[in-house]
Amino acid sequence: MADKIHCAHILVKNLTEAQAVLERLKKGEGFGKIAQEKSLCPSKKRGGDLGVFGHGQMVREFEQAAFALQKGQMSQPVKTQFGYHIIKRLE
Protein backbone atom coordinates (compact mmCIF):
# COMPACT_ATOMS: atom_id res chain seq x y z
CA MET A 1 0.00 0.00 0.00
CA ALA A 2 1.24 3.45 -0.91
CA ASP A 3 2.38 5.81 1.85
CA LYS A 4 1.53 8.88 -0.20
CA ILE A 5 -0.80 9.43 -3.10
CA HIS A 6 -1.61 12.26 -5.52
CA CYS A 7 -5.29 13.09 -5.96
CA ALA A 8 -7.66 15.72 -7.27
CA HIS A 9 -11.24 16.20 -6.16
CA ILE A 10 -14.44 18.06 -6.85
CA LEU A 11 -16.35 19.19 -3.74
CA VAL A 12 -20.07 19.99 -3.95
CA LYS A 13 -22.79 20.62 -1.35
CA ASN A 14 -25.11 17.66 -1.87
CA LEU A 15 -25.49 14.20 -3.35
CA THR A 16 -27.64 15.41 -6.25
CA GLU A 17 -24.86 17.76 -7.39
CA ALA A 18 -22.25 15.02 -6.93
CA GLN A 19 -24.25 12.62 -9.09
CA ALA A 20 -24.65 15.30 -11.79
CA VAL A 21 -20.86 15.84 -11.76
CA LEU A 22 -20.28 12.08 -12.09
CA GLU A 23 -22.62 11.94 -15.10
CA ARG A 24 -20.66 14.73 -16.80
CA LEU A 25 -17.39 12.91 -16.11
CA LYS A 26 -18.79 9.64 -17.50
CA LYS A 27 -19.69 11.51 -20.71
CA GLY A 28 -16.03 12.48 -21.10
CA GLU A 29 -15.90 16.04 -19.79
CA GLY A 30 -12.55 16.99 -18.29
CA PHE A 31 -12.11 16.56 -14.54
CA GLY A 32 -10.14 19.80 -14.19
CA LYS A 33 -12.68 21.79 -16.18
CA ILE A 34 -15.58 20.61 -14.02
CA ALA A 35 -13.56 21.17 -10.83
CA GLN A 36 -12.87 24.79 -11.83
CA GLU A 37 -16.54 25.32 -12.62
CA LYS A 38 -18.28 23.44 -9.77
CA SER A 39 -15.96 22.71 -6.84
CA LEU A 40 -16.37 24.58 -3.54
CA CYS A 41 -12.74 23.90 -2.55
CA PRO A 42 -9.94 26.45 -3.17
CA SER A 43 -8.15 23.63 -5.05
CA LYS A 44 -10.54 24.34 -7.94
CA LYS A 45 -8.02 26.93 -9.18
CA ARG A 46 -5.70 23.98 -9.88
CA GLY A 47 -8.41 21.82 -11.44
CA GLY A 48 -9.08 20.18 -8.08
CA ASP A 49 -5.46 19.05 -7.65
CA LEU A 50 -4.69 18.43 -3.96
CA GLY A 51 -1.08 17.46 -4.56
CA VAL A 52 0.57 14.55 -2.75
CA PHE A 53 -0.61 13.62 0.73
CA GLY A 54 -0.11 10.82 3.21
CA HIS A 55 -2.14 9.06 5.85
CA GLY A 56 -3.63 11.31 8.53
CA GLN A 57 -3.65 14.48 6.40
CA MET A 58 -7.27 14.30 5.18
CA VAL A 59 -10.54 13.57 6.97
CA ARG A 60 -11.06 9.85 7.54
CA GLU A 61 -13.82 9.24 4.96
CA PHE A 62 -11.89 11.07 2.24
CA GLU A 63 -8.63 9.30 3.06
CA GLN A 64 -10.20 5.83 3.06
CA ALA A 65 -11.81 6.41 -0.34
CA ALA A 66 -8.70 8.01 -1.87
CA PHE A 67 -6.29 5.27 -0.78
CA ALA A 68 -8.69 2.59 -2.08
CA LEU A 69 -8.50 3.97 -5.64
CA GLN A 70 -6.15 2.76 -8.34
CA LYS A 71 -4.21 5.28 -10.46
CA GLY A 72 -6.61 6.99 -12.89
CA GLN A 73 -9.69 5.73 -11.06
CA MET A 74 -12.51 7.97 -9.75
CA SER A 75 -14.60 7.47 -6.65
CA GLN A 76 -18.32 7.45 -6.23
CA PRO A 77 -19.53 10.44 -4.14
CA VAL A 78 -17.82 10.46 -0.72
CA LYS A 79 -19.63 12.28 2.09
CA THR A 80 -17.60 14.23 4.65
CA GLN A 81 -18.35 17.13 6.97
CA PHE A 82 -17.46 19.45 4.05
CA GLY A 83 -19.94 18.03 1.54
CA TYR A 84 -19.64 15.42 -1.21
CA HIS A 85 -16.36 14.71 -3.01
CA ILE A 86 -15.60 13.03 -6.30
CA ILE A 87 -11.98 11.94 -5.93
CA LYS A 88 -9.61 11.05 -8.76
CA ARG A 89 -6.30 9.37 -8.03
CA LEU A 90 -3.63 10.87 -10.25
CA GLU A 91 -0.51 8.95 -9.17
The pTM is what? 0.95
Containing structural domain, residue 59? 4-89
Mean pLDDT across the chain = 97
CB 78 within 8 A of CB 65: yes
pLDDT at 52: 97
The sheet with strand 49-54 has its strands ordered as: 49-54, 4-12, 83-89, 78-80
Is residue 1 scored above 80 in pLDDT?
A: no
Give the DSSP per-residue string, 11-65.
Answer: EESSHHHHHHHHHHHHTT--HHHHHHHH--SGGGGGTTEEEEEETTSS-HHHHHH
How many domains is the chain built from? 1
CATH number of domain containing 78: 3.10.50.40
Question: Taking Cα atoms as reference points, which of 80, 91, 70 lies closest to residue 10?
Answer: 80
Encode pLDDT of 22-41 as tens digits. Answer: 999 999 999 999 999 999 99
For the stretch 40-64, pLDDT in tens is 999 999 999 999 999 999 999 999 9
